[in-house]
Amino acid sequence: GAGVSQSPSNKVTEKGKDVELRCDPISGHTALYWYRQSLGQGLEFLIYFQGNSAPDKSGLPSDRFSAERTGGSVSTLTIQRTQQEDSAVYLCASSLARMNTEAFFGQGTRLTVV
């Protein structure tokens, strides 16, 4: 079966433009995470969706960042008015609803703001 799929793989955008990053989780996975990884750095938590619960948005760095998850499946991370410091790899992960189960990562979207 397919794993977590993210698109696009690479995105170059001009400073000030808006971008949308897409994540298709593994079918049946109700938990979905977004993380940001700057060059050579760790996994910075951004947002977490779990079923019909209100998303945990505590990691979003500013109000320029937002995310939604439609129909409990596909998720879109939107960054408005992009800045150069937004340049990073954005990773999506999904897992089953059961507690303490493995989270599977997508290949990431490398965002470059020029």
Partner 1 sequence: GENVEQHPSTLSVQEGDSAVIKCTYSDSASNYFPWYKQELGKRPQLIIDIRSNVGEKKDQRIAVTLNKTAKHFSLHITETQPEDSAVYFCAARRGNRDDKIIFGKGTRLHILP
List of residues contacting partner 1 (CB under 8 A): 31, 33, 35, 41-43, 45, 48, 50, 53, 56, 58, 91, 97-100, 102-103, 105-108
Of the two residues 48 and 65, which places its CB atom closer to partner 1 in the complex?
48
Q: Are 82 and 13 in contact (CB under 8 A)?
A: yes
Give me the least distance between CB of 105 and partner 1, in Å please.
4
Residue closer to partner 1 (CB basis): 35 or 65: 35
Report strand pairing: 104-105 vs 5-7. Answer: unpaired
Least distance from C-beta 49 to partner 1, angstroms?
10
Shortest distance in whole angstroms from residue 57 CB to partner 1: 11
For the bound state, the minimum distance from the C-beta of residue 64 to partner 1, rounded and expressed in Å, comes to: 21
Closer of 20 and 56 to partner 1 (Cβ) = 56
Query: Dihedral of CA 69/70/72/76: which sign?
Result: negative
DSSP string, 13-53: E-TT--EEEEEEPPTT--EEEEEEE-TT---EEEEEEETTS
Residue 112 to residue 83: CA distance in whole angstroms: 9
